[in-house]
Structure 1
Amino acid sequence: MTDSGAVIDWLLGSDPSIRWQVMRDLLDASEAEWMAERAKVETEGWGARLLSYQDEDGQWAGGAFLPRNFNSREWHEHGQPWTATSFSLSQLREFGLDPSSERARRTVELIGASSRWDEGGQPYWQGEVEECINGRTVADGAYFGVDVSSIVNRLVGERLEDGGWNCERINGSVRSSFASTINVLEGLLEFERATGGTPQSREARRSGEEYILERNLFRRLGTGEPADERFLRFVHPNRWRYDMLRALDYFRSAALLTGAAPDPRLGEAIEHVRLRRLEDGTWPLDWSPTGRVWFEIDDGQGRPSQWITLRAMRVLKWWESWYRTA
């Protein structure tokens, strides 16, 4: 693979969850074409496989955030587990399970009736107590057609003075974090896409974007140094983790919704993405969070990743449609 056509062929040879996004985002296929491909997520490949692990009550692994049989020793020895309902729903959203399908509608109904958060015991669609989790819950709920406005209102009220969010706020933190902020931003964006948002949620989303943009997506505001070297490394699945490619993909999605031009402050991160392209035209997976999963969907650290490549190619296509650069 030495040209974009060969890379796209490689992506099209993958799972339906990748194929439909390639068709929509890279090939500009008609909506009828990519919708037909997206419908296969429910019945083929990774989407169907993840759905096969669903419990009868609509949950995964018997819990909202943690598996039913979770032991804290597992977290310390093997990493955070990713098999419970929260992360499974987010992965189905990433795969693109059609939210209007009967399976999707039934799933969110069952979860609303059966699932309770590990921390606090609240019904699932009322949200947890922590901003990072609630940001993803809003994104999943809005995508799958659930009324999550009460969680949105809570998140708007939990914004910090610097414009973003931090899940350690309850423990006294007064500075936002990149990870908490991107999780909330993705939720607010999905809520806005589904409902139009509210004046308050749109303003909160703008301030959260500014928090990330004024730091060029990865730098400390005070020193200009990288806030975390891992932000420069590409991670998948992100789960709750932040990296600059996730942020770029968010800004692309937000701009496509609003019609805004890319902010020039994204340019440094865009150049980093360009420089990370391998000789064969793909992008590598730098790392994945450790911990229990239902199954692996990448070929391993250091190997070309279809997910990372898809995200990088669509971000660059969007950027270069505005700023024609070599």
Structure 2
Amino acid sequence: MTPDPQVLDWLLDSDPALRWQVERDLAGAPPEVWQATRARVPTEGFGAELLSKQDPDGQWAGGAFFPAGFEFSSPESGEDPGQPWTATTWSLKSLREWGVEADVLAGTVEKLAVSCRWEYDDLPFWGGEVDCCINAWTLASGVWLGADVSGIAQWFLDHQLPDGGWNCEWVEGSTRSSVTSTLNSLEGLLVHEVATGGSEELRAARLRGQEHLLERRLLRRLSTGELITPRVTHLAYPFRSFYSALHALDHFRAAALHDGVAPDLRLAEAVESVRAGREPDGTWVQQRRHPGDVWFEEDVPVGEPSRWLTFHATRVLDWWDAAAS
């Protein structure tokens, strides 16, 4: 469902980090056009601003997953400031997703190898740690920037649970997969596979993880058929670490295109939940803002039409509807 010209013009009137993707995936622009826009990301708008926040030692905010000196509020305070989104993990994730080329960050791999340690057990950055979501983002950042993250790739084979997914709470004894942990793991594995070709074992692990989510139609508990959480159909951008139908569909679209397969029909209910969020004017509205400190706002406040959500939702529906036609 290609957006009408007015919505497309609105989407194109955006930061280069989004505009080049709209040009490539919705407007059908030739490669020389969207590649030229993508090349502007490090020098304009979001990309330039986030790059300017990098510390001399290669980190952002002085920390790996959390800013230096960050402390969670005590439960007694009644406050929920949320996860800060400013440290190295999150900054690298954003820059990669915005299309910044690795050579823009030349030297960062080496700097982080020296300066950046995980808050968990002071482990070295490029070796990962025990949280599968953190390891997935580090795997993706590593293959993008050219770090040796082969150990993290093997980690996912070693820690896939019997039901096919992953759970960041495995270290606490959990033996049942989490849809959130599984989705974040799948995204990292797909980035690694696209960049390196992966291996038969890693591809099989990814497909098993995808099956874990497909069995639940991305939305529902396998045991009761109830929604996994009431927020699973909520629309919120940036996706961050949170699970939602749109976030999951964004992965399944990318995976299907990489694998050269048609959309799995078990995605239908999730697709229609996204379609139902479309406003009469062809846009999707921000429904929730994930709390937590940011360097700057990437998207609109709750209640306003979101270019990022409209782009992602339209792209998913375009992919789904094209396969059905």
Residue 30 of structure 1 and its aligned partner are, at CA, apart by 2.1
What is residue 218 of structure 1 aligned with on the other side? 219
Q: Counterparts of 2:10 and 2:282 in 1: how far apart (Å)? A: 11
Question: 1:209-248 to 2 correspondence within 5 Å?
Answer: 209-248=210-249
Match of 1:13 in 2: 13
Q: How much has 1:96 moved relative to structure 2?
A: 1.3
- 2:159 and 2:60 mapped to 1: Cα distance? 29
- Return the alpha-carbon distance in structure 2 between the equivalents of residues 4 and 243 of structure 1: 26
Find 2:90's aligned residue among 87, 92, 111.
87
Q: Distance in 2 between matches of 1:199 and 1:285?
A: 39
Shift in Å, 1:241: 0.7
Q: Give the corresponding residue for 1:204.
A: 205
Q: Distance in 2 between matches of 1:311 and 1:144?
A: 25
Post-superposition Cα deviations, 1:211-249, rounded to whole Å, max 9, x if no partner, equal 000100010001111011111101211221111101101
Q: Scaled by the length of structure 2, what TM-score is found?
A: 0.95
Give the CA RMSD over aligned residues.
Answer: 1.5
Query: What is the one-letter code of the residue matched to 2:303?
Result: G
Q: Residue 77 of structure 1: CA displacement?
A: 4.1
Say whether the 8 Å CA contact 2:67–2:87 is kept in structure 1.
yes
Contact between 1:131 and 1:165, CA under 8 Å: does it hold in 2? yes
Distance 2:251 2:12 in 1: 23
Contact 1:120/1:129 (<8 A) preserved: no
Partner of 2:99: 96
Letter of the structure 2 residue corresponding to residue 57 of structure 1: D
Q: CA deviation at 1:112?
A: 2.5
Distance 1:4 1:109 in 2: 46
Corresponding residue of 2:48: 48
Q: How does 1:278-297 map to 2 (within 5 A)?
A: 278-297=279-298
Q: Does 1:181 align with 2:174?
A: no
Alignment size in residue pairs: 321
Is the partner of 1:211 in helix, strand or coil? helix
What SS does structure 1 have at the residue aligned with 2:39?
helix
3-state SS of the aligned residue for 1:248?
A: helix
SS of equivalent residue, structure 1 residue 24: helix
1:26 counterpart residue number: 26
Deviation for aligned residue 1:74: 8.1
State the alpha-carbon separation in 1 of the partners of residues 23 and 239 from structure 2.
23
2:111 equivalent to 1:110: yes
User: Does structure 2 conserve the Cα–Cα contact (< 8 Å) formed by 1:74 and 1:80?
Assistant: no
Separation in 2 of the partners of 1:228 and 1:122?
33
Alpha-carbon distance between aligned partners in 2 of 1:9 and 1:106, rounded to the nearest angstrom:
38
1:300 matched to 2:301? The reply is: yes
Letter of the structure 2 residue corresponding to residue 289 of structure 1: H
Deviation at 1:198, TM superposition (A): 1.0
Distance 1:227 1:64, change over 3 A: same
Verify the 8 A CA contact 1:218 1:244 in the aligned structure 2. yes
Q: Is the 8 A contact 2:233 2:274 kept in 1?
A: no
Q: Aligned letter for 1:93?
A: R
Q: CA deviation at 1:80?
A: 1.6
Q: Secondary structure at the match of 1:40?
A: coil
Look up the equivalent residue of 1:185 and give its one-letter code.
L
Equivalent residue letter for 1:31: P
Kindly provide the CA deviation profile for residues 72-121 of structure 1, in whole angstroms up to 9, marking residues without a partner as x. 2289542221111001111111211122x3x2233333223321111121
- Taking the aligned partners of 1:235 and 1:108, their CA distance within structure 2 comes to 31
Runs of 5+ unmatched residues, structure 2: none
Return the letter of the residue paired with 2:48: A
Q: Which moved more, 1:197-206 or 1:21-30?
A: 21-30
Q: TM-score, normalised by structure 1?
A: 0.95
Summarize deviations over 1:236-267 as a string: whole Å, max 9, x none: 11221111101101011111111111001111
| TM-fit CA distance, 1:279 | 1.1
User: What percentage of residue pairs aligned between the two structures are identical?
Assistant: 51
Partner AA of 1:236 in structure 2: Y
Task: Report how far residue 34 of structure 1 moved.
Answer: 1.3
Q: Distance between the aligned counterparts of 2:290 and 2:94, measured in 1?
A: 14
- 2:81 is aligned, of 78, 95, 98, to 78
SS at match of 1:20: helix
Amino acid at match of 1:269: A
Name 2:274's counterpart in structure 1. Answer: 273
